Amino acid sequence: MKVLITGGSGFIGQALCQRLIDAGHQPLVVSRAPDKAKKGLPAEVVVREQVSDFAAEGPEAIVNLAGEPIAEGRWTEAKKKALIESRIGITRDAVDFCSTQERPPAVLVSASAMGYYGDQGSRDVTEQTTPHDEFAHQLCKRWEEEARRAESSGVRVAILRIGLVLDAGGGMLAKTTPVFKLGLGGKLGDGSQYMPWIHRNDMVGMILFLLERDDLSGAFNASAPNPVTNADFTRELGRALKRPAVLPAPALALKLAFGEMSRLLLTGAKMLPARMEQAGFEFEYRDLDQALNAIFRS
Ligand SMILES: NC(=O)c1ccc[n+]([C@@H]2O[C@H](COP(=O)([O-])OP(=O)(O)OC[C@H]3O[C@@H](n4cnc5c(N)ncnc54)[C@H](OP(=O)(O)O)[C@@H]3O)[C@@H](O)[C@H]2O)c1
């Protein structure tokens, strides 16, 4: 199967490309900087600048991952605009591509994030939970709505509301591990906020699962069945790295340093992968200690 991937050069995309190749598929990656992207991808991957550059290949599936990094720096008005436009723009390109192809791709698997739900305190959050209205929700809602427009071209659309993706070499662990290794790790605020997480292998596994299962569509929570609080996460990461993790970052300091973006660090949702489990997806990593031990052993 030819699979077009926007943002395929990123942390999830790189692992996805390798897994697709291993399974005998052909990844076609869209990147703003194809030469640079090629350096981080297996040689079999074809990389071009625009979605429309792959019209002649007739991809059978699209995986939409591109977007400006969300957890970096303050959310100034310019940053918020970039967060929205980078996602809506390329999603629109993918959807328009579907509408212009004589044989449109059968499926679009499109990224969204746990931020869809906004702050949910400690209640269980499934795909049915009413979101809390805030910037992250508005961003994800618009992103998802744009992707779902592909349904009018007869494309099956599956949305992944992604939790914190864990593995070595990128994502949140690339930022936190150096701090923890110095013994400077600690909980954020009071540590009671939930952090739904997922090992990168399971993240990629879910994408393949949704590409293959033509009975599945709509929104799916993409996180492990056992979410943890920030305090639990901090303790487990300290334990996996064999370092103390007792230096808390006070909520006020994070608010002053990051403004509105600090909500990503100080609030959360106890997101559960209800629809994935119902559909029979088998997790390789259900528990955080198991995932972290595997990551730091390798
Ligand atoms: N990793 C996580 O923990 C996590 C959690 C929740 C949601 N997500 C979402 O899942 C998607 C993939 O995650 P990831 O961790 O693989 O992301 P990533 O490593 O940041 O990669 C995303 C890719 O998007 C492209 N991109 C970046 N800024 C862009 C911009 N301004 N305009 C257009 N394209 C841009 C880049 O590709 P080029 O430079 O090659 O163009 C980049 O490789 C993202 O949309 C992210 O928001 C990730």
Q: Which residue has the higher pLDDT, 28 or 254?
A: 28
Query: Could you tell me the domains of the chain?
Result: 2-167+197-225+269-284 (3.40.50.720)
**166, 295 Cβ separation under 8 angstroms:** yes
In this prediction, residue 152 has a pLDDT band, given cuts at 50, 70 and 90, of: very high
In the prediction, which pLDDT does 60 show?
Answer: 98
In the prediction, which pLDDT does 257 show?
Answer: 87
136-151 tens-digit pLDDT: 999 999 999 999 999 9
CA distance 124 to 100: 41
Rg (C-alpha) for the chain, rounded Å, is 19
CA distance 289 to 293: 6
SS (H, E, C) 177-233: HHHHHCCCCCCECCCCCEECEEEHHHHHHHHHHHHHCCCCCEEEEECCCCCEEHHHH
187-222 tens-digit pLDDT: 999 999 999 999 999 999 999 999 999 999 999 999
Nearest CA to ligand 1 atom 29: 68
In the prediction, which pLDDT does 51 show?
Answer: 98
Question: Which DSSP letter does residue 9 get?
Answer: T
Share of the chain above pLDDT 90, in %: 96
pLDDT score of 177 more than 90: yes
> By C-alpha distance, which of 2, 135, 7 is closest to 69?
7
In this prediction, residue 266 has a pLDDT band, given cuts at 50, 70 and 90, of: very high
Cβ neighbors of 94 (< 8 A, separation 6 or more) are 4, 6, 51, 62, 64, 108, 110, 147, 150
* pTM listed for this prediction: 0.97
In this prediction, residue 71 has a pLDDT band, given cuts at 50, 70 and 90, of: confident
Measured from the Cα of 114, ligand 1's closest atom is 6
pLDDT score of 133 more than 90: yes
Q: Kindly list the protein residues whose Cβ atom lies closer than 6 A to any atom of ligand 1.
A: 7, 9-13, 31-33, 37, 65-70, 82, 86, 90, 111, 113, 162, 164-165, 171-172
CA distance 97 to 75: 31
In the prediction, which pLDDT does 83 show?
Answer: 97
pLDDT (mean) for 250-258 = 90
Q: Which of 162, 175, 203, 204 to mutate to test the pocket of ligand 1 (most atoms within 8 A of CB)?
A: 162
pLDDT score of 298 more than 80: no
pLDDT (mean) for 20-27 = 98
Max alpha carbon distance in the chain (Å)? 59
In the prediction, which pLDDT does 153 show?
Answer: 98
CA distance 268 to 118: 7
In the prediction, which pLDDT does 72 show?
Answer: 86
Q: Would you call 39 exposed, middle or buried from its count of C-beta atoms within 10 A (0-12, 13-18, 19+)?
A: exposed
Share of the chain above pLDDT 70, in %: 100
Compute CA 166 distance to the chain's CA centroid, rounded to the nearest angstrom: 10
CA distance 287 to 38: 34
In the prediction, which pLDDT does 73 show?
Answer: 84
74-128 tens-digit pLDDT: 999 999 999 999 999 999 999 999 999 999 999 999 999 999 999 999 999 999 9
SS (H, E, C) 237-288: HHHHHCCCCCCCECHHHHHHHHHHHHHHHHCCCEECCHHHHHCCCCCCCCCH
Opening angle at CA 236, ends 235 and 242, nearest 5: 90
For residue 165, which phi and psi values (nearest 5 degrees)? -85, 125
In the prediction, which pLDDT does 47 show?
Answer: 98
In the prediction, which pLDDT does 170 show?
Answer: 95
Q: Which of 19, 28, 31, 32 to mutate to test the pocket of ligand 1 (most atoms within 8 A of CB)?
A: 32
